[in-house]
Amino acid sequence: MTQHAATVEQKYKEFVERIVATDAVWGLTKDETWATSSSQEFEDTEVILFWSGKEGAAACAEDEWATYTPESITLVEFLENWCVGMYGDELLVGADWDTDLSGKEAEPLVVALDVVNKLKAKGKTLEFTQYDSQDEFEEQVIEALDGDK
Find the DSSP H helices in the chain. 3-22, 54-59, 75-77, 84-88, 108-122, 134-148
Calculate the dihedral angle through the C-alpha atoms of 58, 98, 73, 46, rounding to the nearest 10 degrees. 120
Length of the chain: 149
Instruction: Map residue 117 onto helix, strand or coil.
Output: helix
Per-residue pLDDT of the chain (149 residues; tens, 9 = 90+): 566 778 889 999 999 999 999 999 999 999 999 999 999 888 899 999 999 999 999 999 999 899 999 999 999 999 999 999 999 999 999 999 998 888 899 999 999 999 999 999 999 999 999 999 999 999 999 999 998 76
**The predicted structure's pLDDT at residue 3:** 62
What Rg, from alpha-carbon coordinates, does the chain have?
15
Full domain range(s) for residue 63: 3-148
Phi-psi domain of 31 (left: phi exceeds 0; alpha: psi -120 through 50; beta: other):
left
How many domains does the structure of the chain reveal?
Answer: 1
CA distances to 41, 102, 130 from 91, rounded to whole Å, are 12, 16, 21
**The predicted structure's pLDDT at residue 137:** 97
Pairing mode, if any, of strands 46-50 and 36-38?
Answer: antiparallel
